[in-house]
């Protein structure tokens, strides 16, 4: 099976003093001027390139498949990091290289943003401090991708609804409230299913209590 490396430009990802971020075969490497670019992004409310993503792929036969798989993985990472930073992050400009004898050779290129984004947010608080992002990835990203875990917890759906509300951050509260409340309700619903509450009323009073509620 051939080995490929897919590179993509990452936008609005903050690193603080970290040398990069990593998850399995994905590595995010900050650009030399990433601090200046991030300050510029906040000042101008625009998105600027702050890193290069490298995805090592060795389970497909061709570069197009390598790019397609990398796009899907970086999409998911975009959603996850967008929740952590509390602003949009995204990847575009995908380049695929074939690796042979320790050297890589350019094969093909694909221009595509990995997600819809609005203006760069300013005046917000992080959900996860940038110096804790790597730990956040290590502890939770696998669960974010895990179908069984999400069937039990709904965490991925909740994060996506939260992100949707964040996209309307400058809209009236009546608009943003709906998305945030849905995210909260998703978590509450899954939690109640996993942790059913047993009635503390006595067996003879509980049926009467239920009947009263129906008639209320």
Of 134, 55, 41, 34, nearest to 87 by C-alpha is: 41
Question: 126 and 68, same structural domain?
Answer: yes
Question: 88 and 40, same structural domain?
Answer: yes
Question: 118 and 171, same structural domain?
Answer: no
Are 51 and 35 spatial neighbours (Cβ–Cβ below 8 Å)? no
Residue 183: what pLDDT? 93
**3-state DSSP call for residue 209?**
helix
Range of the domain at 204: 148-216
The pLDDT of residue 114 is above 60 = no
The lowest-confidence range among 11-25, 63-77, 160-174 is: 160-174
Are 49 and 93 spatial neighbours (Cβ–Cβ below 8 Å)? no
Indicate the pTM of the whole model.
0.85
Average pLDDT of span 137-164: 94
Of 2, 13, 101, nearest to 53 by C-alpha is: 13
The 3-class SS string of 160-207 reads: HHHHHHHCCCCCCHHHHHHHHHHHHHHHHHHHHHHCCCCCCCCCCCHH
Last residue in a domain, options 94, 121, 145: 145
The pLDDT of residue 64 is above 70 = yes
Domain count, the chain: 2
Cα–Cα distance between 142 and 161 in angstroms, integer? 19
The pLDDT of residue 118 is above 90 = no
Question: 168 and 79, same structural domain?
Answer: no
Residue 204: what pLDDT? 73
Question: 139 and 162, same structural domain?
Answer: no
* More confident: 39 or 117: 39
The pLDDT of residue 50 is above 60 = yes
Average pLDDT of span 111-131: 75
């Amino acid at each position: 099976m051939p080995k490929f490396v897919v590179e993509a430009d990452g936008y609005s990802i903050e690193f603080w003093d970290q040398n990069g971020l990593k998850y399995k075969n994905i590595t995010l490497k900050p650009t030399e001027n990433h601090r200046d670019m991030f300050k510029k992004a906040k000042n101008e409310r625009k998105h600027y390139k702050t890193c290069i993503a490298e995805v090592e792929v060795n389970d497909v036969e061709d570069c197009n498949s390598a790019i397609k798989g990398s796009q899907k993985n970086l999409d998911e990472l975009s959603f996850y990091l967008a929740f952590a930073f509390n602003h949009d992050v995204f990847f575009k400009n995908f380049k695929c290289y074939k690796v042979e004898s320790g050297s890589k050779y350019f094969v093909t290129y694909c221009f595509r943003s990995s997600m819809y984004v609005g203006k760069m947010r300013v005046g917000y608080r992080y959900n996860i401090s940038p110096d804790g992002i790597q730990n956040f990835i290590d502890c939770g990203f696998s669960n974010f991708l895990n179908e069984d875990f999400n069937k039990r917890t709904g965490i991925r759906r909740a994060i996506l609804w939260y992100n949707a509300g964040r996209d309307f951050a400058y809209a009236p509260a009546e608009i943003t409230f709906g998305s945030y409340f849905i995210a909260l309700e998703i978590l509450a619903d899954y939690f109640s299913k996993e942790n059913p509450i047993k009635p503390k009323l006595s067996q003879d009073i509980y049926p009467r209590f239920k009947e009263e509620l129906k008639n209320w």
